[in-house]
Amino acid sequence: MNVGFQFSNTVEYEILELIAEGGMGSVYKAIQRGAGLFEKTVALKVIREEFSSIKPFRDNFIGEGKLVADLIHTNIVQIYNLGKNTEQQYFMVMEYVNGINLDEFMVFHLEKKARVPIDIAVFIVSRLCRGLAYAHKKRNTNGELLGIVHRDVNPKNIMLSLEGDVKLTDFGIAKALNLMYNKEGKVIAGKDEYLSPEQARREITDERADIFPCGIVLSELLLGENIFADEDPEQTIQNILEKPLPDYPKVRPEIDDRLHVILKKALTRDREERYQNAEEMLNALELYIYGDGYGPTNEKLAEYLKDYISPEKYKASGLTTRSDMI
């Protein structure tokens, strides 16, 4: 027997501050208020009114919300609700992450001429792989595999909370078996310098397309630069397809042969030779950092952030935005 409930609309949002702004919308920190003096800090992702009226864009925005609605995992930014305000703007109510994104984390180290410790870098990417492994294996209520591929794994979409959590966000161009608005084979989805080779070749992707950018992110954390990035976008694409990988232990002697093997496998151009899923890469990374016993934890990352990216240092660094989730 199905029982329905009709609730009065008692939820309201108070905007506190702008987190990020893009050409198509903005993300705000807000307070969600409900009955009985209920309050919760959330992030509101609001698309501009003119885009709310464009059906393909609106469908893409709503599709993102539908796709991620049931992704409930500690390493994925959660979506709470989709709504529309009095100006007919669509908005998404999201988990608020009190912290910085990974791009800002790396920029801060570059400005201080400091290198990210090996174990911290590996830990961050291992948590990223945990979130992806969960998303890739997600099934609908009928038990059917959704076939989710993020397709835009890059440092600006990876959040680090001050509590030491690593969270993947922005599934805006994600694909699923029955829900995909960016047609592969016609367009390249994702940021050029973090594409997998199959994305760069405009091929149909599967979960292995998210493994290659995990390798790029790990490489960038360890070396302080993206090995494929070039000012010329076409050259960046060519680098992803053909540029030889560095000899990591020679570039940074702290990178041992075991980690070098992980990097090479994650960055294999032939996806048949790459890690076949995020869980495989996760297992390799966790064996690397925990194989000899105690290894890094959320608490250790939180302490590292407290020491190096404290609110005072964060403000002084000039890094004023937390994420470009648009």
Q: Which residues are catalytic?
A: 152
Edge to edge, the sheet with strand 39-47 lists 12-21, 25-33, 39-47, 90-95, 79-84
What does 155-166 look like in DSSP terms, one character per residue?
GGGEEEETTS-E
Rounded CA separation 141/147 (Å): 14
> Distance (Å, rounded) from C-alpha 101 to C-alpha 155?
7
Q: How far is CA 299 from the centre of its chain?
A: 20
Output phi, psi for 149, to 5 deg: -130, 125
Q: What distance in Å separates the CA atoms of residue 25 and residue 38, rounded to the nearest whole number? A: 27
In whole angstroms, give the CA distance from residue 69 to residue 179.
Answer: 13
Tell me the one-letter amino acid at 160.
Answer: L
How far is it, in rounded angstroms, from Cα 254 to Cα 226? 18
Alpha-carbon distance of 230 to 74, in angstroms, equals: 34
